[in-house]
Amino acid sequence: MIVIPAVDLKDGRCVRLSQGRMDQESVYSEDPVGMAKWWESKGAERLHVVDLNGAATGKPFHRSLIKEIARSIQIPLEVGGGIRDLSTIEDYLSDGVRWVILGTAAIRNRPFIQVACHHFPERVILGIDAKEGKVAIQGWNEIVSFEAIDLAKQFEGIGLSAIIFTDVERDGMGTGLNVESTQKLARSVSTPVIASGGVSRIEDIEQLMELELDGVIGVIVGRALYTGKLDLEEAIRIARGRS
Classify residue 157 by burial, with Cβ atoms within 10 Å: 0-12, 13-18, 19+: exposed
Active site (annotated) includes residue 204: no
What contacts 24+ positions apart, CB below 8 Å, involve 112-117? 112/84, 112/85, 112/86, 113/155, 113/158, 114/155, 114/158, 115/86, 116/86, 116/89, 117/158, 117/159, 117/160
Q: Which of 51, 91, 95, 129 is catalytic?
A: 129
Active site (annotated) includes residue 129: yes
**Do the beta carbons of residue 34 and residue 65 sit within 8 Å?**
no
Residue 28, C-beta contacts closer than 8 angstroms, at least 6 positions apart: 14, 15, 16, 35, 226
Q: Which of 8, 167, 171, 204 is catalytic?
A: 8
Task: Report, as residue numbers or ranges, the catalytic residues.
Answer: 8, 129
